Amino acid sequence: MPSNSLIPLNHSLDEAAPNLETVAVEAQQMEKFPNSVTSSGNARDKRWIEASTEPKIPELRKTLERHNSERQLIVIQDFPDPDALSSAWAYQLIAQQYNIQCEIVYAGTLSHQENIALVKLTNLPAKRWGIQNLKEHDLSLYQGCVLIDNQGTTSQLMPFVKQAGIPIAVVIDHHSTQGDLQSEFADLRPQTRATATILTQYLQAGLLKLDSNNKEHVKCATALMHGLRSDTNRLMQAQEEDFLAAGYLSRFYDSQLLNAVLQTARSRRVMDVIERSLKNRKVHNNFSIAGVGYLRYEDRDAIPQAADFLVTEENVHTAVVYGIVHDEDEELEVVIGSLRTTKLTLDPDEFIKEAFGQDINGRFFGGGRLMAGGFEIPMGFLGSFNDNSEYAKLKWEVFDTQIKQKLLRLVNPKDNLIQTD
Ligand SMILES: [Mn+2]
């Protein structure tokens, strides 16, 4: 495998942008956007949305019409992030217009303090369906499954959904294509920064008319704003379509509520993981790599937060942080890792797929989107918890060495020596 192939040039960021200067003013559309400052801006925004979502809007409308009065299961990743949570909620509200009743479910846990705050403060209707207690839920109630901000590869629920024979009705995502997926409607946009941007475009195109007097709409708009911000590094990596989506949401969202979500403090245990990542980091060729040892299932999100922090160091463009997450309830251990990069030409999806390869079923251990990626490596026979601290230490060292070796193979392509320190 040629190691230098992991750094492909990204597509031009402007590639999908229609030429706004040529867009004509259309008087009819102005009245739909009464709050905007300039009328020509209104028509331009509308045209922008039409250009980027066309022909998806009518297609989605038809799909929703076909499933009128049905029930759908919206499956989001095991550890849902604000982009997934808010986008799933927006889809649920859109589907309600078509008399489709949706349940938003995830199998893992809400780990990041901001996500817990988001769900609590907005009453976001997502539910945890743990694999252990799946029997409590009747899957035969659902005629379709909806994947938002994922393609089914990051949820433990998918094998059960497939087993129950629930067809995939809708997929809306911005991650790189994760392989063949049979779905009735798909809107996959790897060049788009946030799924919340896609859902906001749907709202703006009229699939659901937001009403600032409707409390649920205001909260959903606030959640979408948070989702959009968090997937664009607080808008610093946002493109024109994200700003336009944020501009639209700004008419409805509650800035105080968003502030309350963002003010949430980190727990002490998260701080400890960040401290460990700082202490253990090794910097090679502008990559900062840190293994943080064992951490509890509820603190899993400390890993991406540590990666977010390590990538801010001078002369570092990419950070990878990983650890062994153990779930005491389910007697399960798994290696979880996160990658963050500020290097535009580094494709996290490709990097992770090339570093870790596939399992025996041909499934990749992870993937990514622009600037961020993640991986999850099952520990198999070694993956059960053991109280013996010597044994636990030994096991960590084995995994730590193996992961470092795979990463360094890409980071120092010419350097075949393995560093075990
Ligand atoms: Mn996302």
Query: What CATH number has the domain bearing residue 393?
Result: 3.10.310
pLDDT of residue 363: 84
Same domain, 241 and 337: no
Same domain, 253 and 299: no
pLDDT of residue 48: 54
With 0-12 / 13-18 / 19 or more C-beta atoms within 10 angstroms meaning exposed / middle / buried, residue 190 is: middle
**Do residues 199 and 85 make contact, with C-beta atoms less than 8 angstroms apart?**
no
Q: Is residue 62 part of a domain?
A: yes
Same domain, 228 and 294: no
Q: What are phi and psi of 172, to 5 degrees?
A: -130, 115
Same domain, 136 and 191: yes
Q: Using alpha carbons, select from 359, 398, 47 the residue that is nearest to residue 205.
A: 47
From ligand 1's centre to the CA of 7, what distance in Å? 22
Q: 0.85 cut: is pTM over it?
A: no
Same domain, 59 and 175: yes
From ligand 1's centre to the CA of 160, what distance in Å? 23
Same domain, 198 and 229: yes
Placement of tokens 């040529």 in the chain: 22
Same domain, 139 and 285: no
User: H/E element holding 96?
Assistant: helix 82-96
Range of the domain at 289: 268-411
Same domain, 253 and 305: no
pLDDT of residue 206: 95
**Do residues 148 and 89 make contact, with C-beta atoms less than 8 angstroms apart?**
no
From ligand 1's centre to the CA of 87, what distance in Å? 9
From ligand 1's centre to the CA of 248, what distance in Å? 19
pLDDT of residue 390: 92
From ligand 1's centre to the CA of 292, what distance in Å? 25
From ligand 1's centre to the CA of 374, what distance in Å? 12
Same domain, 150 and 272: no
pLDDT of residue 276: 97
pLDDT tens, per residue, the chain with 421 residues: 333 333 333 323 232 233 232 222 232 333 333 333 334 445 555 555 555 566 799 999 999 999 999 999 999 999 999 999 999 999 999 999 999 999 999 999 888 888 999 999 999 999 999 988 899 999 999 999 999 999 998 899 999 999 999 999 999 999 988 877 889 999 999 999 999 999 999 999 999 999 999 999 999 999 999 999 999 989 999 999 999 999 999 999 999 999 999 988 888 999 999 999 999 999 999 999 999 999 998 899 999 999 999 999 999 999 999 999 988 776 789 999 999 999 989 999 999 999 999 988 888 888 888 888 999 998 888 887 677 889 999 999 999 999 999 999 999 876 555 555 4
Of 262, 294, 329, the position where a domain reaches its end is 262
3-state secondary structure of 333: strand
From ligand 1's centre to the CA of 174, what distance in Å? 6
Q: Is residue 13 part of a domain?
A: no
- In this structure, the chain runs to a length of 421
The angle subtended at Cα 253 by Cα 249 and Cα 80, nearest 5°, is 85
Sign of torsion over alpha carbons 395, 398, 403, 404:
positive
From ligand 1's centre to the CA of 392, what distance in Å? 34
The angle subtended at Cα 298 by Cα 405 and Cα 219, nearest 5°, is 115
Q: Is residue 9 part of a domain?
A: no
> Residue-wise over 293-327: b if at least 16 C-beta within 10 A, else e?
bebebebbbbbbbbbbbbbeeeebbbbbbbbbbbb
Domain count within the chain: 2
